[in-house]
Structure 1
Amino acid sequence: MILMLNVHPSRIPDLVTPEILTFDPPTSVRVYRDDFDNVCTRIVAPPGRVTVSTDFLIHDSGEADVVAPDARQHDVQDLPDDILIYLLGSRYCDTDKLSAIAWALFGAKKPGWARVQAIVDYVHERIRFDYQRADATRTAFDGHEGGEGVCRDFAHLAVALCRCMNIPARYCTGYLGDICIPPVPDPMDFSAWFEVYLDGRWYTFDARHNTPRVGRILMARGRDAADCAISTNFGAQQLVRFDVHTDEVIEETAG
């Protein structure tokens, strides 16, 4: 199995306590980084039930996602070479099926932040969140036509529409607790959002929630969910139980 359960290297300096994956029964592991600099753990799972767990404290700024209404969109010819991959179609972001739709909907929108926000607004209204309707094979186009899904479907559709409009976009997954918002009745899970490249940097957007949030903890990023799979198995397996928790811990200050 390949497990992508660690925080992204960009958040490692924020760890307050060690982040260690624990296996029961004990299992030998090998850790490596993939082409997107995500931390991957490679194991040969023993027969029978295997429990993988981790628990850690991480420091967060407490600030919400950055909002920059004046961030401009680059012309394609001005983009850095390593950004171009995030304009291309990918496994779950089938831009070829969405290009005409995207240009009809957003071609008249002001390029840059306003155009991205228009895409996020559209996806937020287009897809109905339903945890019971998760589908690992659903593409961005499928989500657009079916109008239902989970957070990854919101992210895939928004990413694909941005790419259709020549805005580099990449998929992200990680922890997102119910911090600074009213309690949410849905069971906690890992979350998916996306980033766009505007004005020489990456900005965070979230088509499911469509509001800046506090406490995102990035685990992995890539072209789509295929690059950020929490677990990849090479053989039969059954997920018996799955628990995710992200709880706010208030720092104590010396008095």
Structure 2
Amino acid sequence: MLIRCGYDISFQAETQTAMMAMLSLHPSRHQDLRTAQRLTISPDIPLYHYEDGFGNVATRLTVPPGGVTLSCDFVIEDSGEPDRRAPTGAQTPVEDLPDDVMIFLLGSRYCETDRLMDVAWANFAHYGTASERVDAIVDFVHNHIEFGYHHARPDKTAWNGYQERQGVCRDFAHLAITLCRCMNIPARYCTGYLGDIGIPPVDAPMDFSAWFDVYIDGQWYTHDARHNHPRIGRILMARGRDATDVALTTAFGPATLTGFEVHCDEVPSID
């Protein structure tokens, strides 16, 4: 299947402001591109791309006085297969995990494992396998948090989401990630495109989406606590410990978001 993705995001700034953006397709999906993916900017100012410590493509720019608009549009091929489920088997002991996976067991800015450790062990310790625990955690988070865009705020952590029981997709992901880590299951935060493909259309503006991966039996598997069932057409942009590592944009000074449009739709062919 072919999916057309892209965005137009605008910022206003009164003074020159440095910015970092995490808006490019993840390198693992580059081979699936069917048209060029090129981030454009208006006015035409220099952009510098680099690979961060998690393998994501990050972009540096300096917003001039007046502001900028960042845009992108591309077509990508997707298998149309739903998210793969993890196999049932014994959980990998922490001492046997690869070195580069260990960081995804640790607490992070939005995932306070210390505050949710007792909650996790009280609710999920009796499950016998990693996959059963993850499924139980996803069910719990899906039912525990009420979704609503008006519940979003940038400082909300997993602990806040657990207490307030309200949030957006990133809050579902943060709470599920934290509970998985508390149970010694490595989990990482993911962000990208997830259009209304294979489901009834949702009457809401399109946005980027957040989900998470868990490391089970030597591989990473995708889960989504907000939707709580395998989806198709998931297009990865970036992944890291939590939303800190994959923030869409980070401004190092005053910059006001003035426009935000995202599209992600199945298309029959490349026009």
Partner of 2:118: 100
Partner of 1:205: 223
Q: Distance in 1 between matches of 2:54 and 2:89?
A: 25
Q: Distance in 2 between matches of 1:110 and 1:123?
A: 19
How does the TM-score come out when normalised to structure 2? 0.91
Deviates more, 1:142-151 or 1:46-55: 46-55
Matched, 1:121 2:139: yes
Higher normalized strand content (fraction of residues): 2
Aligned to 2:258: 240
Match of 1:139 among 157, 166, 169: 157
The CA distance in 2 between the partners of 1:186 and 1:160, in whole Å, is: 28
Distance 2:184 2:129 in 1: 10
Secondary structure of the residue aligned to 2:267 is: coil
**RMSD, aligned CA:** 1.0
Name the SS for the 2:59 alignment partner: strand
- TM-score (norm: length of structure 1): 0.97
SS of alignment partner, residue 142 of structure 1:
helix
For 2:48 and 2:67, the matched residues in 1 are separated by 20
Query: Which one-letter code corresponds to 2:92 in the other structure?
Result: H
1:171, distance to aligned residue in structure 2 (A): 0.2
Alpha-carbon distance, 1:83 to partner: 0.5
1:195 counterpart residue number:
213
Aligned: 1:225 with 2:243: yes
State the Cα distance separating 1:49 from its structure 2 match: 2.8
> Does the CA contact (< 8 Å) of 1:32 and 1:39 recur in 2?
yes
The letter of the residue matching 2:65 is P
Q: Is the 8 A contact 1:8 1:219 kept in 2?
A: yes
Alignment partner, residue 38 of structure 2:
20
**What is the Cα deviation at residue 185 of structure 1?**
1.1
**Cα shift readout 1:75-120 (whole Å, capped 9, x = no counterpart):** 1011011100000000000000000010000011122111100000
Unaligned runs of 5+ in 2: 1-18
Q: How does 1:144-223 map to 2 (within 5 A)?
A: 144-223=162-241
Structure 2 residue matching 1:91: 3-state secondary structure: coil
Residue 197 of structure 1 aligns to a residue in which SS? strand
Quick check: 2:188–2:241 contact (8 Å CA) kept in 1?
yes
- Whether the aligned pair in 2 keeps the contact of 1:72 and 1:198 (CA below 8 Å) is no
- The question of whether the paired residues in 1 share the 8 Å contact of 2:110 and 2:242 is answered with yes
Equivalent in 37, 41, 64 of residue 46 of structure 1: 64
- How many Å apart are 1:71 and its aligned residue? 4.8
Structure 1 pair 71–22 and aligned structure 2 pair: CA distance change class (3 A): farther
**Cα distance in 1 between the residues matched to 2:223 and 2:126:** 21
Deviation of 1:70 after TM superposition, in Å, equals: 1.6
% same residue: 60
Structure 1: gaps spanning 5 or more residues: none
Distance 1:12 1:75 in 2: 34
Conservation of the 8 A alpha-carbon contact between 2:90 and 2:128: no
Aligned to 1:250: 268
User: Which amino acid in 2 is paired with 1:115?
Assistant: R
Task: Decide which moves more: 143-152 or 104-113.
Answer: 104-113
Q: Secondary structure at the match of 2:109?
A: coil
Cα offsets for 1:37-70 (capped at 9, x unmatched): 1101100111103111000000100111012342
Question: Contact 2:88 / 2:129 at 8 angstroms: preserved in 1?
Answer: no
